[in-house]
Chain A
């Protein structure tokens, strides 16, 4: 709340800076605006930038470092014995101090020591905020005065403002790269820590997955096995089922829409597919878990088949429905891109429409279609909510679609929901799985995009 007020104050100062700069430039020009290098508005922006950028930069730095600094100081003030505690217990303690300071419920007895620490925490935060407020406000006012002082007829305000705008544009275009680097580094960093605990060979080729790390050495059934093969096979099984649904349905509907459908039919069918694409995955998950899975189980029971209520089939079919529009829109694109001359040549030889489609158009569009399938496959592998809600948790190594299997994404979610210490193999395993997921989908995407682009060039 305090921070919000500070930010708004700074914003107001910045706006004031704009008007001050503008009026200042007009008065410097002494009524003859042609004496100015730039339009008055640019002087306004100039002062506003001087006022706003340093102040907001300092504020952002403070906000991102505040917790770390305050906590370090609080820990430093604790008794030596407490400081020597292992990291996880220290974190719990800090959590309690924070809760106590903000008046929440605390999980342990409140002793005077804790009380003192909480008060210290609170006072440090307050001091920190006051210092930050003082620094940012004075920076803003100083920037305002400085910017205003610089204004003169010779100041190239427009060029300077435009330089700042250009820098902003360049910085925002590099966000994409920074994100990728961030993803790779964060996954890699945690995965390396995981592989220090569990050998990569065991992870990649192990056949047993039961990540509950043993609490005691002699504990039964919780040996903490990290063999990811059952997860990969489960993921592939569900994705395969999904592609069995989405592949034919998506491709055939794309063929129908681009080659046969009346424009009026197209006007109805296209939005239907777009709606399917726009439905959130959690809704599909709900549908899979509470409608499709029971339906399959009951039907199976009716014909004497035992179908698990968390069967791979239910998750796979619903995921297939979800990616139909994906397959169909890419296939539609590539089919429409096949030159008309090829169709006409085929008709001229006496082929029927379906013969043309099957023997001319689809072979011609095949690379594009394959690319689309690969993209859809990567979508299916990375899909999370449907499998979290409808697939199982037990890592069964099976290809039977009626049994419950688990997937990479399900395990990432289950490993990371709930308690978290950042040094147990359990949580780190999620990052190793995430790294695998990222690499596999990235490869599929790169190959698919390459294939699709190659194909496009061929007919352009």
Chain B
């Protein structure tokens, strides 16, 4: 701003002199003023480029960190399923089969890979190349097909998360041994296995089918996705009718008085209340006062519904306002009651706008984390929730939990979960855009 002011001051005294002097002074200052103009314009462009660059860096780092989570390093194990270990009495009773000592079989199979390792400590070290989840893979295979018992089974089981990271190139063999999580021995074994061709890289289905786990290679987002689904369902069921009701009342029926003013001020303020405060409300009212279960999607859904209400109400009111009065007058003219005018004419016409607002509100709720931390949805939950009353977590909270974990493999999975979350959000917003484009009417 000082530049331009200086220009004015310089020009001013010359104004008293001859017109030629003045125009000369202006011409002289023009160059500087145009340069300032260009600079200012560049600042604006830089600001936008900065924002775009931030977005690009954000997305690139997340994809760069997370794409590798979609593959999992597996090892092909050759296991003999001795009947005396699995089902000594030959009853094929599922209870017996599911509690059998598969770990012993896995240990034996791993041992057979390197028969020359005899030292006890080294043998234990050797076992660490396999994920502890390998036993479950074998148990599931046996439970599915009991005729396998007594035969040789060639099965692919995940390697430990550290070797998986090593295989993906995130742990370099060049750093000193004490500074990395895999030892020289393990690397040597792993490379020999690779030469034998038993190490393979497969699509990581566990990531999309399992719940959380302490072992990165066994952890998946499915539990969180299901939890998010239940939470969103509760949110939608509560917030949509209430928001539409509130918007219709305020826009179509409410008299203009102090009470409705108060409601409006309230809605606007609630839209700007920090989300964590809604979490405190949920904790104090829903959990402590009403005694609803902690960590349950019902409570999460209720909190998020209160949080998204203002967004949807504001969008719905805008949509209702856009319906021209002539529609209402026409309906009144043929004898409709006020409620009929709204339900038969105004609401259907405003519906695309309301739905767009609802989807945007739901997208906000889907990405929300802080209030859910307050009501205990951060618990470590392995099981896939079966209903809105079961303890569960949601996708953003899962991301938070994983990014806090020390293992690098969890960081990779958190990035993958972010990609999934962003995928959902993009989908929802795309639907909103399509709705707006297709059904938006201008009168």
A434 contacts the other chain (Cβ, under 8 Å)?
A: yes
Q: How far is the CA of A1 from the CA of B292 in the complex (A)?
A: 16
| Residues in chain B near residue A88, CB distance under 8 A | none
* B277 x A438 contact (CB < 8 A): yes
Contact of A158 among B41, B337, B367 (CB under 8 A): B337
**Nearest-CB residue, chain A, relative to B369:** A282
Q: Let me know if A187 is at the binding interface, CB within 8 A.
A: yes
Residue A324 contacts which of B51, B273, B292, B367 (CB distance < 8 angstroms)? B51
With a cutoff of 8 Å between Cβ atoms, the chain B residues found around residue A115 in the complex are none
Knowing A177-B262, A280-B367, A434-B280, say if A389 contacts B51 (CB, 8 Å): no
How many A residues have CB within 8 A of the partner chain?
Answer: 96
Interchain residue pairs with CB less than 8 A apart (5): A249-B47, A252-B47, A286-B418, A324-B54, A416-B373
Chain B residues with CB below 8 A from A290, complex form: 65, 403, 411
Chain B positions within 8 Å of A170 at CB level: 249
Kindly identify which residue among B246, B272, B337, B369 contacts A445, using a CB–CB cutoff of 8 Å: B272
Majority DSSP secondary structure for residues of B touching A: helix
User: Contacts A4-B387, A173-B245 known; A280 to B369 CB distance under 8 Å?
Assistant: yes
Closest chain-B Cβ to A58's Cβ sits at a distance in Å of 16
* Most chain B CB neighbours (cut-off 10 Å) among A169, A248, A291, A441: A169
Looking at the assembled complex, report how far the CB atom of A221 sits from the nearest CB atom of chain B, in whole angstroms: 25
From B55, B306, B370, A413 is in contact (CB under 8 Å) with B370
Q: Is the CB of B246 within 8 A of A179?
A: no
B155 on the A face (CB < 8 A): no
Interface-lining segment among B32-40, B86-94, B212-220? B32-40
B100 within 8 A of A: no
Binding site for A on B (CB under 8 A): 1, 4, 26, 33-34, 36-37, 39-41, 43-48, 50-52, 54-55, 57-58, 61-62, 65, 241-246, 248-250, 253-254, 260, 262-263, 266-270, 272-278, 280-281, 283-285, 288-292, 306, 309-310, 313, 337-339, 343, 363, 366-370, 373-374, 378, 387, 396-397, 399-400, 403-404, 411, 414-415, 418, 421-422, 425, 429
Known contacts A253-B48, A280-B396; is-contact A286 B403 (Cβ 8 Å)? yes
Residue pair B48, A257 in contact (C-beta under 8 Å): yes
Q: Does A146 contact B (CB under 8 A)?
A: no
Which A residues between 141 and 195 are near B, CB-CB below 8 angstroms?
A: 158, 162, 165-166, 168-177, 179-180, 182-183, 186-187, 189-190
* Residues on B with beta carbons closer than 8 Å to the beta carbon of A126: none
Taking a contact as CB atoms under 8 Å apart, the answer to whether A382 and B277 are in contact is: yes
Closest to B378 in A: A417
Q: Are B399 and A442 in contact (CB under 8 A)?
A: no
User: Chain B residues near A275 (CB, 8 Å)?
Assistant: 55
A33 to chain B, nearest CB (A): 16
Assess A172 versus B245: contact at CB under 8 Å? Given A260-B41, A279-B58. yes
Cβ of B272: which chain A residues have Cβ within 8 Å of it?
375, 378-379, 441, 445
Our pick among A180, A272, A321 for the contact of B270 (Cβ within 8 Å) is: A180
Would you call A276 and B54 a contact (CB within 8 A)? yes
Determine how close the nearest CB of chain A comes to the CB of B213; give it in whole angstroms. Answer: 18
In addition to A186-B280, A281-B369, A412-B374, 5 A-B residue pairs with Cβ atoms within 8 Å of each other are A253-B51, A273-B51, A325-B51, A350-B26, A412-B276
A321 to B, closest residue via Cβ: B54
A276 to B59, CA, bound (A): 10
- Give the interface segment out of A21-29, A201-209, A354-362: A354-362
Interface pair B281/A179, CB less than 8 Å apart: yes
Closest 10 CB pairs of A and B: A382-B274, A256-B44, A280-B367, A172-B245, A186-B284, A354-B40, A252-B47, A384-B370, A169-B249, A67-B291
Tell whether, in the assembled complex, residue B245 and residue A179 are in contact, meaning their CB atoms are under 8 Å apart: no
User: A416 to B277, alpha carbons, bound, how many Å?
Assistant: 12
Q: How far is the CB of B332 from chain A (nearest CB, A)?
A: 15
Q: Which residues of B contact A269 (CB under 8 A)?
A: 48, 51-52
Chain A residue, CB-CB nearest to B388? A4
Q: Mark A394-438, 1 if CB is under 8 A from B, else 0.
A: 000000000000000100110011000010000000110010011
Alpha-carbon distance A283/B62, docked complex (angstroms): 9
Closest residue on chain A to residue B421 by CB atoms: A280
* A-chain residues with CB within 8 Å of residue B280 when the two chains form the complex: 183, 186-187, 412, 416, 430-431, 434
A352 touches B414 (CB 8 A): no
Known: A273-B51, A280-B425, A286-B403. A175 touches B387 (CB 8 A): no
Q: Are B368 and A177 in contact (CB under 8 A)?
A: no
Given contacts A176-B263, A283-B399, A291-B61, contact A182 B285 (CB under 8 A): yes
Closest to B310 in A: A176
Majority secondary structure of chain A interface residues (helix, strand, loop or mixed):
helix
Assembly CA distance A126 to B195 (angstroms): 62
A residues near B387, Cβ cutoff 8 Å:
1, 4
How close is B288's CB to chain A, nearest CB, in angstroms?
6
- A282 close to B404 (CB less than 8 A): no
For A328, the chain B residues whose CB sits under 8 A away are: 51
The reply to whether B275 and A382 contact each other, CB–CB distance below 8 Å, is yes
Please measure, in the bound complex, the distance between the C-alpha atom of A400 and the C-alpha atom of B165, giving whole angstroms. 37
Contacts A253-B44, A438-B273 given; does A272 touch B370 at CB 8 Å? no
Closest beta carbon of chain B to A388's beta carbon, Å: 8
Among A176, A280, A285, the residue within 8 A (CB) of B313 is: A176
Give the distance in Å from the alpha carbon of A290 to the alpha carbon of B370 in the complex: 19
**Nearest CB of chain B from residue A350's CB, rounded to whole Å:** 8
- What's the least CB distance linking A62 to chain B, in Å? 12
Nearest-neighbor residue (CB-CB) of A380 within chain B: B274
Of B41, B277, B369, B374, the residue contacting A256 (CB under 8 A) is B41
For residue A266, give the distance in angstroms from its CB to the closest CB of chain B. 10
> Please, which residues of chain A bring their CB within 8 A of the CB of B289?
186
Residues of B within 8 A of A249 (CB): 47, 50-51
A449 at the B interface (CB under 8 A) = yes
Residues on A with beta carbons closer than 8 Å to the beta carbon of B263:
173-174, 176-177
A68 at the interface (CB under 8 A from B): yes
**CA of A280 to CA of B254 in the docked complex: distance in angstroms?**
35
Q: Are B367 and A281 in contact (CB under 8 A)?
A: yes
A9 to chain B, nearest CB (A): 17
Which A residues are CB-close (under 8 A) to B270? 176, 179-180
In the assembled complex, the Cα of A23 lies from the Cα of B40 at a distance in Å of: 74
A173–chain B nearest beta-carbon distance, Å: 4
Chain A 356-387 per-residue mask, 1 if CB under 8 angstroms from chain B, else 0 = 01110000000000000001001101111100
Does the CB pair B51–A385 fall under 8 Å?
no
Q: Does chain B have a CB within 8 A of A214? A: no
Whether B62 pairs with A381 at a CB distance below 8 angstroms is: no
Docked pose: A130 CA to B62 CA in angstroms: 52
Q: Which residue of A lies closest to B34 (CB)?
A: A352
CB neighbours (8 Å) of A35 from chain B are: none
Contact, CB under 8 Å: B47 / A248: yes
Residue of B nearest to A249 (CB): B47
Residues A175 and B48 in contact, CB atoms below 8 Å apart: no
Asked whether, in the complex, the Cβ of B367 is within 8 Å of the Cβ of A287, the reply is no
CB pair A389 B403 closer than 8 Å: yes
Q: Out of B44, B267, B414, name the residue touching A176 (CB < 8 Å).
A: B267
| B284 engages A190 (CB within 8 Å) | yes
Smallest CB–CB gap between B255 and chain A, Å?
A: 11
A255 contacts chain B at the CB level, 8 A cutoff: yes
Which B residues are in CB contact (< 8 Å) with A273? 51
Which residues of B sit under 8 angstroms from A256, Cβ to Cβ?
Answer: 41, 43-45, 47-48
A279 contacts which chain B residues (CB < 8 A)? 58, 367, 422, 425
Q: What are the residues of chain B within 8 A of A103 when measuring CB–CB?
A: none
Q: A158-B337, A169-B246 are in contact. Are A283 and B422 (CB under 8 A)?
A: yes
Which residues from A are CB-within-8-Å of B429? Answer: 278
Q: Are B369 and A385 in contact (CB under 8 A)?
A: yes
A283/B373 contact (C-beta < 8 A), A248-B47, A249-B47 known: no
Q: Is A353 an interface residue (CB 8 A)?
A: yes
